[in-house]
Amino acid sequence: MQIYEDLEQVHFDGPTVLTIGNFDGVHLGHQALLETVIDLAGSWPGMAASSVIVTFEPHPLKVLRPELSLDLLTTPLERLQICAGMGIDIGIVQPFTRELATFTASEFIALLHEHLGMAALVVGPDFALGKDRSGTLDVLAALGEEFDYRLIVQDLVDNGQHSIRSKTIRQLLYEGDVSAAAKLLGRYYHMVGEVEFGEQRGREFGIPTANLLIPEDKLWPANGVYVTRTWIVEKRRSFSSVTNVGYRPTVNGHSRRIESHLLDFPPRGESGNLYGKQLVVEFLGRLRGEQKFDGPDQLIAQIHADITHARQFLDDAPPASPPFFLTPLSET
């Protein structure tokens, strides 16, 4: 995938088939829409078109409603990596500003037409763009006549009970149901972070953990203990792991942390130093909620029981495969 940081950097004659949105989570519903973009671009009459995704940074709500706290399923980079893995050709991370928020639908479509040679726009049934969301589907269809593009509306995807939406996945994660969230995402929920120095309590207990520094606005699952798979990005290797999310009440912790204990790590003959390394933690299942124990001995016994249960869980889990966050991207 070729990445551009602003539409002003792009000057394509086209044709391009594109979609626009935040795509937080890039869940199965988003993926169905993106597959339509890819298929349509590949079968465009006369010549293959380029498939394009336009997303925004910062999130529009951060500009329009700065008082709100955001809990994002994916960072902009992660969204592009997922899209690249699917086969999208071009990713544009458009800076969202108060000025851009004043654009009418016609003005924004004109920008896409000028810089991308847009031949088709693929959107969902509740999509709208432009100031005050005035660019409804009817408006966009009419603009298609003016700017010579096709508007394709992709149906919502459901899981047999309700439409797959980012807010549904967020609620499942707030409840700690990472297994159900994975079924809607089409992959395990993950968190990416750099290993930072902690209080080294785990090392004192003989169960060392990697403490992750998590990007701002990233959604944290409910406090508790999880079966996870942890990737060391630079080594492109994964290890089964047990991850604690929470305040560590038994040791009087005051800050919320994510700490992963990598099983069977380090491998024989290798260094176990992970400080400063980037890790990706995939959440496979929840073992239990956060608990306060009577003392370190009881806590250590429970951690060993958690590790045993995690190994049993992982025996039935699909084998690890290189995930989207290892997809190389090319910035322009």
Q: Where are the domains of the chain?
A: 2-161, 166-326
Taking the CA of residue 176 as centre, how many other CA atoms within 13 Å lie in the half-sphere pointing to its CB? 15
Digit-by-digit pLDDT tens for the chain (332 residues) are 899 999 988 888 879 999 999 999 999 999 999 999 999 999 999 878 999 999 999 999 899 988 888 899 998 888 999 999 999 999 999 999 999 999 999 999 999 999 999 999 999 999 999 999 999 999 999 999 999 999 999 998 887 766 799 999 999 999 999 999 999 999 999 999 999 886 656 566 678 889 999 988 899 999 999 999 999 988 888 999 999 999 876 666 668 899 999 999 988 888 888 999 999 999 999 999 988 887 888 888 999 999 999 999 998 887 777 666 666 665 54
Q: How far apart are CA 116 and CA 7, in angstroms?
A: 8
CA quadruple 237, 238, 239, 241: dihedral positive or negative? Answer: positive
Architecture of domain 2-161: 3-Layer(aba) Sandwich (3.40)
**Which single residue is written with the structure tokens 């039935």?**
316
pLDDT, residue 66, reads: 87
Q: What is the helix (H) or strand (E) element at residue 314, kind and residue range?
A: helix 296-315
CB 317 within 8 A of CB 284: yes
Both tokens of 79, joined, read 């969204």
Task: For residue 268, give the DSSP letter.
Answer: T
d(CA 47, CA 61): 38
Contacts of residue 4, defined as CB under 8 A and 6 or more positions apart, other chains included, come to: 10, 90, 91, 92, 93, 332
In the structure encoding, which two tokens stand for residue 230, read together? 């942890």
Contacts of 103 (CB under 8 A, 6+ apart): 111, 130, 131
The alpha carbon dihedral of 141, 142, 143, 148 has a sign of positive
Determine the length of the chain: 332
Residue 163 CA to residue 168 CA, distance in Å, equals 9
Residues 6+ apart with CB under 8 A from 106: 130, 135, 143, 146
Distance CA 79, CA 24 (A): 7
CATH 3.30.1360.10 assigned to domain 166-326? The reply is no
Q: How far is CA 197 from the centre of its chain?
A: 25
Find where tokens 């990598």 sit: 262
Identify which of 76, 75, 68, 91 has the alpha carbon closest to the alpha carbon of residue 4: 91
Residues contacting residue 207 through CB under 8 Å, at least 6 positions apart: 261, 300, 303, 304
Helix runs in 87-205, H state only: 98-101, 105-116, 137-147, 166-174, 178-185, 201-204
Q: What is the pTM of this model?
A: 0.90
User: Is-contact 259 211, C-beta < 8 A?
Assistant: yes
